[in-house]
């Protein structure tokens, strides 16, 4: 939605776009073919990775009502440069390792990065003057961490014993 938002509203801009995501993917306890995501975009003059990290930490603190330990790893996504995988320390096992975090203690929560200049230009924004960051926040994963749900497939499994708890 980044280019569409930039085309319609121009820069500077701050936007969040919630929506359902469909993808071709083998499923396991932490991956499904269908999930919900919040796409975020900030474009202004002088935006850096520091702004990205600050906003992500504040956002997660707001959601979980406590300080959240995060780490960034380099990641490749075509629409950002540089791109990162933002991981949070696993809430299910507190970092000791479980099926959700694949024994790593960390859960991938947000692909993110600085908006690629081509995306800015595609949206009609001057990429010399403006920069920005973008992220995709997996809402299903947030719900898993918040409510300690150990299998993402339960959301769409249709089992009323699970669904009626909410
Ligand atoms: Zn874990």
CA distance 133 to 16: 12
Is the C-alpha dihedral spanning 67, 150, 156, 33 positive or negative?
positive
**Separation of CA 120 and ligand 1 centre (Å):** 37
pTM as predicted:
0.82
Whole domain around residue 71: which residue ranges? 2-163
How many residues make up the chain in this entry? 166
* Nearest Cα residue to 131 out of 25, 37, 34, 49: 49
- CATH number for position 98: 3.30.930.10
**Separation of CA 157 and ligand 1 centre (Å):** 22
**Separation of CA 31 and ligand 1 centre (Å):** 14
pLDDT, residue 2, reads 87
| Ion ligand 1 neighbours, Cβ < 5 Å | 90, 92-93, 98, 100-101
- The β-bridge partners of 71 are 87
pLDDT (tens place) for every residue of the chain, 166 residues total: 888 999 999 999 999 999 998 988 898 888 888 988 899 999 999 999 999 999 999 998 998 888 889 999 999 999 999 999 999 898 888 899 988 788 999 988 889 999 999 999 999 999 999 999 999 988 888 888 788 898 889 998 899 999 898 8
Number of domains in the chain: 1
The tokens for 49 are 């990775």
Which residues fall within 8 angstroms of residue 54, CB to CB, at 6 or more apart? none
């Amino acid at each position: 939605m980044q280019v569409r938002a930039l085309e319609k509203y121009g820069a500077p801009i701050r936007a969040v776009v919630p929506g359902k995501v469909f993808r071709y993917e083998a499923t396991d306890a932490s991956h499904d073919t269908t999930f919900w995501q919040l796409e975020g975009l900030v474009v202004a003059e002088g935006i850096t990775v520091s702004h990205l990290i600050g906003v992500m930490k504040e956002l997660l603190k707001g959601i979980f009502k406590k300080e959240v330990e995060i780490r960034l790893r380099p990641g490749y996504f075509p629409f950002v440069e540089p791109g990162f995988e933002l991981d949070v320390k696993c809430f299910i096992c507190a970092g000791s390792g479980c099926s959700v975090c694949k024994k790593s203690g960390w859960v991938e929560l947000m692909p993110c990065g600085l908006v690629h200049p081509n995306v800015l230009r595609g949206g009609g924004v001057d990429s010399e003057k403006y920069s920005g960051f973008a992220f995709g926040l997996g809402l299903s994963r947030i719900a898993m961490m918040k409510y300690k749900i150990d299998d993402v497939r339960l959301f769409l499994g249709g089992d009323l014993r699970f669904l009626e708890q909410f």
